[in-house]
């Protein structure tokens, strides 16, 4: 083996280390998006009927989403800390004229109502999805998630995760787009 070959072989571990370091740094700078987008975007809401979480109110059904009004569906749970964090933003959306329907996922009605007393209640109606059947049917992978539903009952936008103050403008724009 020549001296030149030995010198090259001595630099190989350092070169390998630098390549691995560059890959790790690239992953830290631009982390991979692991969110799962719904395949239901652009499709109609599946047929459903959920009992109301509020005593004495009618069930929340898919038929009520085809009345010409653009609505938001917000999936939440009383056990969900990010759901509590987004409540001020939902109140802002409601004050801006958004109609928000809540879907209480894997929750007991008493716990949902307690959550709303603590953090505010931006919802027009709340459906009890204790088995997460609707949540799964519309392609939701967790809570909180918010969907813009147009007046024909088509899913127009999915917002994964808590709504932050920076998201309000985008959601209001999606509502305006859905109004046509």
pTM of the model: 0.82
> For residue 173, what is the enclosing H or E element?
helix 168-179
- Please give the pLDDT value at position 174: 96
Alpha carbon distance 180, 170 (integer Å): 16
- Please give the pLDDT value at position 31: 67
42-75 core/surface letters (b: 16 or more CB in 10 A; e: else): eeebeebebebbbeeeeebebebbbeeebbbbbb
25 or 89: whose pLDDT is higher?
89
Question: Are 78 and 111 a contacting pair, CB within 8 Å?
Answer: yes
Tokens of 11: 């630099």
pLDDT band at 168 (very low <50, low <70, confident <90, very high): very high
- Please give the pLDDT value at position 9: 87
Alpha carbon distance 119, 41 (integer Å): 29
Select from 79, 82, 73, 90 the least CA-distant residue to 178.
73
Tokens of 76: 């939440």
Q: Is the pLDDT of residue 2 over 90?
A: no
- Please give the pLDDT value at position 33: 66
- Please give the pLDDT value at position 28: 81
């Amino acid at each position: 083996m020549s001296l030149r070959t030995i010198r090259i072989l001595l630099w190989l571990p350092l070169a390998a280390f630098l390549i691995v370091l560059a890959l790790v740094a690239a992953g830290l700078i631009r982390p991979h998006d692991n969110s799962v987008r719904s395949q239901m975007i652009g499709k109609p809401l599946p047929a459903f009927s959920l009992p109301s979480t509020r005593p004495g109110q009618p069930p929340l059904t898919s038929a009520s989403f085809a009345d010409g009004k653009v609505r938001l569906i917000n999936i939440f749970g009383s056990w969900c800390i990010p759901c509590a964090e987004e409540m001020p933003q939902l109140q802002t959306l409601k004050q801006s004229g958004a109609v928000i329907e809540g879907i209480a996922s894997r929750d007991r009605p008493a716990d949902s109502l307690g959550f709303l007393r603590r953090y505010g209640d931006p919802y027009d109606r709340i459906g009890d999805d204790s088995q997460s059947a609707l949540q799964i049917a519309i392609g939701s992978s967790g809570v909180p998630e918010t969907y813009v539903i147009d007046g024909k009952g088509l899913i127009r936008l999915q917002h994964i995760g808590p709504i932050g103050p920076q998201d309000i403008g985008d959601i209001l724009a999606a509502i305006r787009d859905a109004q046509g």
